[in-house]
Amino acid sequence: MVKSVLGIIGGSGFYNLPGIQNPHWEKVSSPWGEPSDDILFAEVDGLPFRFLPRHGRGHRISPTHINFRANVDALKRAGVTDLVSISACGSLKDQFAPGHFVLVDQFIDRTFAREKSFFGEGCVAHVSLAHPVSPLLVDAVEQACKAEDIDHTKGGTYLVMEGPQFSTRAESFLYRSWGCDVIGMTNMPEAKLAREAEICYATVAMVTDYDCWHEEVAHVDVAAVLAVMKGNTEKAQRLVHKLAEIFPREHPPCPIGSNTALDVAIITAPEARDPKLMAKLDAVAGRVLAKA
């Protein structure tokens, strides 16, 4: 059975996560370009742990300009089997107040300026995203939330907008009418790429504000978001440490096939595949390409 390697992608609160052992930063090169930053390699109670700052240390990269393909590819090369996204977001529901965590299970992708697949001309593949998060991973995150007494909701739809500007009120009301629960700028195409890379994926959406739809709450601004994020970061640190403590050391098969997503996804015949693209897919799709 495959050994578990827990990956976290998120903000600055994990640079100095309490309780990690043997921390060191490593540059992991990717044929898809430059990842957002080096990767922090460490262990938590013997579990291999990897952390990548999504926006780079110092928050240098806007959501639109994140090289999502390089990030996911680098994490795959670092051995990550399970990836948890820790993401600040706005709330589209009264019951999800600032400070609440939503363990997302669905996404609506409204981004338009990002590379969204490792595949394309030279090798076509279609993975299923009916269930974009991995249930065993979400269950483990929920168990950690309960153990740390963190206010949370399991299940919810995350509307991913392009940004970097926040929503107009008309947009915010539209997304509410669609039944969305939270809104943010980062989890797509990240979730799609994790599925293509056969990495189990889950999102912890940390509510910082009510977006701009709420009549009785001041509209979102950076200062207010940062104030809430400070408290959210402390809770997220406890969540991640507890998750690492309870996480299975041997990686179980994913019940929805996240870790075997490419078994029936690649359409292009072996003789028609572009060798240059194949070389770039060595980490993402190496498991299935080795069988071709």
CATH class of the region 6-289: alpha beta
Question: What's the pLDDT at 251?
Answer: 94
The C-alpha angle 7, 10, 11, rounded to 5 degrees, equals: 140
Q: What is the pTM of this model?
A: 0.95
Question: What's the pLDDT at 218?
Answer: 61
Mean pLDDT over each residue of the chain, to the nearest integer: 94
Residue 237's nearest CA partner among 10, 13, 72 is 13
Determine whether the annotation assigns residue 210 to a binding site.
Answer: yes
Question: What's the pLDDT at 153?
Answer: 98
Res. 245: pLDDT tops 80: yes
Determine whether the annotation assigns residue 117 to a binding site.
Answer: no
Determine whether the annotation assigns residue 152 to a binding site.
Answer: no
Question: What's the pLDDT at 176?
Answer: 97
Determine whether the annotation assigns residue 134 to a binding site.
Answer: no
Determine whether the annotation assigns residue 55 to a binding site.
Answer: yes
- Ordered by start, the domain boundaries in the chain are 6-289
**More confident position, 210 or 11:** 210
Mean pLDDT value of segment 263-268: 96
Q: What would the pLDDT profile of 56-77 be if each residue is shown by its tens digit? A: 999 999 999 999 999 999 999 9
Burial (0-12, 13-18, 19+ Cβ within 10 Å), 168: exposed
Determine whether the annotation assigns residue 88 to a binding site.
Answer: yes
Question: What's the pLDDT at 147?
Answer: 98
Name the band, by pLDDT with cuts 50, 70 and 90, for residue 292: low
User: Which contacts qualify for 38-46: CB closer than 8 Å, 24 or more apart?
Assistant: 39/74, 39/75, 39/78, 40/14, 40/15, 41/78, 42/17, 44/6, 44/17, 44/19, 44/20, 44/241, 44/244, 44/245, 45/19, 45/244, 45/245, 46/249
Q: List the catalytic residues.
A: 209, 211
